[in-house]
Amino acid sequence: MPEFPYLTLEYLATAVILLDEESCIAYINPAAENLFDVSGKNLFGHAMRQVFTHTEQLDNAMLQAVHNNASYIEHDLVLGTPAHGKLQLRCTATPLQLDRKCLLLEFHPMDRPLKLAREEQMLDQTQANRLLLRNLAHEIKNPLGGIRGAAQLLEQELEKPALREYTQVIVQEADRLRSLMEKLLSPQNASHYSALNIHEVLERVRSVVLAEMPEGLTIQRDYDISLPALVGDKEQLIQAVLNIVRNATQAMRGNGTIILRTRVARQMTIIKRRHRLAVMMQIIDDGPGIPPELRDKIFYPLVSGHADGHGLGLTLAQDFISQHQGMIEFDSEPGRTCFTVLLPLQ
Ligand SMILES: Nc1ncnc2c1ncn2[C@@H]1O[C@H](COP(=O)(O)OP(=O)(O)O)[C@@H](O)[C@H]1O
Ligand SMILES: [Mg+2]
């Protein structure tokens, strides 16, 4: 394998699984491996229900196809996958007579147009966010110098030293705000691109976060070490991933497990552009999940679920990733939140 008829299926963009007479998996094409994030060679000889969950609708489609000896289409099929949870798919089951009786299963992800619309909206939003942030940062940064200087002058005139505590608060807070504003303004001009290994980025983030929260936090690595090098700005990528991982540790209150996963993704469309190869990074935590009322807006600036949060972490992360022509997506339910970062490879 692959030999005829499998050879042609190898090149299809449609996800295809071929079942043998015993309804066991005889073949999975690369598009299906990609869609379900599984490795075909581990699955041969297994029944669909041994690999996937929530197979009731699929079982029914297969049954109908065999029973009528004709194609059966299920337009709104839910299938539970090991890596991505439940997927919504359009599935066609077709009985075939090859060298033996087979059942051909084709899968199309349902959310394609939806996903594209969302990506487009996200891109617009990212650009709008960037502009908004820069303008805001400028407006705030300018008067800060004046406030700081005035507080220092005032301090010199103060007779009671105890009052200096107050002017010190003004100076320190002005400094903190200025460094925050500089963070917002700097990334635009200061990108340093070089070839890098994405695992260096993840390892750095891992050691920073473990140093911040040494107890209670477990970070598991699930790396695909065969990933090719990526051209990118290492500091920006570290900051982006760090922001995502820190949110996870905060949500778990430092107690739980984070999985850092990397995979190669083939034939990915990222914000309307098709890429032959991309790096997929996933940051998965087992915390309480993103509050439902925040889910539509966590990438917006100043949106935070914490009283003391700036709500800039994900805005910046998205900005950095989109400067690399990549994108961030997430999927969240109590007990499992997964942020997926896709970065195209040249
Ligand atoms: N892994 C996660 N689990 C639960 N909630 C999250 C997670 N990641 C992000 N959030 C929510 O998204 C909000 C926005 O995050 P972010 O932009 O980094 O701002 P901040 O961390 O300053 O609040 C967080 O306050 C939190 O409510
Ligand atoms: Mg944050």
From the CA of 311, the nearest ligand is 1
Q: Which residue has a Cα nearest atom 10 of ligand 1?
A: 290
For ligand 2, the distance from its centroid to the CA atom of residue 304, given in whole angstroms, is: 8
State residue 4's pLDDT score. 55
Mutate to test the pocket of ligand 1, among 253, 283, 298 (most ligand atoms within 8 A of CB): 298
Report residues whose beta carbon is within 6 angstroms of any ligand 1 atom.
243, 247-248, 251, 285, 287, 289-291, 294, 298, 303-306, 309-315, 337
State residue 194's pLDDT score. 92
State residue 189's pLDDT score. 52
Amino acid at 59: D
What is the rounded end-to-end Cα distance, in angstroms, of the chain?
A: 30
Is a pLDDT exceeding 70 seen at residue 263? yes
Residue 200 confidence class, pLDDT cut points 50, 70, 90: very high
Is a pLDDT exceeding 70 seen at residue 6? no
For ligand 2, the distance from its centroid to the CA atom of residue 183, given in whole angstroms, is: 14
Q: Which residue has a Cα nearest atom 18 of ligand 1?
A: 313
Is a pLDDT exceeding 60 seen at residue 34? yes
State residue 11's pLDDT score. 85
Residue 332 confidence class, pLDDT cut points 50, 70, 90: very high
For ligand 1, the distance from its centroid to the CA atom of residue 247, given in whole angstroms, is: 5
Q: Which residue has a Cα nearest atom 27 of ligand 1?
A: 305
Range of 32-46, 80-94, 236-250, 310-324 with top mean pLDDT: 236-250
State residue 71's pLDDT score. 87
Residue 235 confidence class, pLDDT cut points 50, 70, 90: confident
- The beta strands (E) that lie in the chain are given as 15-19, 25-28, 72-81, 85-97, 101-109, 193-196, 217-222, 230-233, 256-270, 273-285, 327-333, 336-344
CA quadruple 168, 311, 315, 288: dihedral sign: positive
Whether residue 155 contacts residue 164, with contact meaning beta carbons closer than 8 Å, is answered with yes
109-123 confidence digits (pLDDT tens) = 875 555 566 677 777
Mutate to test the pocket of ligand 1, among 299, 314, 319, 328 (most ligand atoms within 8 A of CB): 314
CA 304 distance to own-chain centroid: 19
For ligand 1, the distance from its centroid to the CA atom of residue 298, given in whole angstroms, is: 7
Is a pLDDT exceeding 80 seen at residue 130? no
Query: Is 210 or 188 the better-scoring residue by pLDDT?
Result: 210
Is a pLDDT exceeding 60 seen at residue 79? yes
Is a pLDDT exceeding 60 seen at residue 295? yes
* Single pTM value for the model: 0.63
Is a pLDDT exceeding 70 seen at residue 327? yes
For ligand 2, the distance from its centroid to the CA atom of residue 314, given in whole angstroms, is: 6
Q: Are strands 25-28 and 15-19 parallel, antiparallel or unpaired?
A: antiparallel
Query: What's the mean pLDDT when you consider all of the chain?
Result: 87
147-194 confidence digits (pLDDT tens) = 999 999 999 999 888 888 889 989 988 987 887 787 677 655 567 889
From the CA of 284, the nearest ligand is 1
State residue 115's pLDDT score. 59
Q: Which one-letter DSSP state was computed for residue 47? A: B
Q: Starting at the earlier edge strand, list the strands of the sheet with 15-19.
A: 25-28, 15-19, 101-109, 85-97, 72-81
Q: Which residue has a Cα nearest atom 20 of ligand 1?
A: 311
For ligand 1, the distance from its centroid to the CA atom of residue 200, given in whole angstroms, is: 24
d(CA 25, CA 237): 39
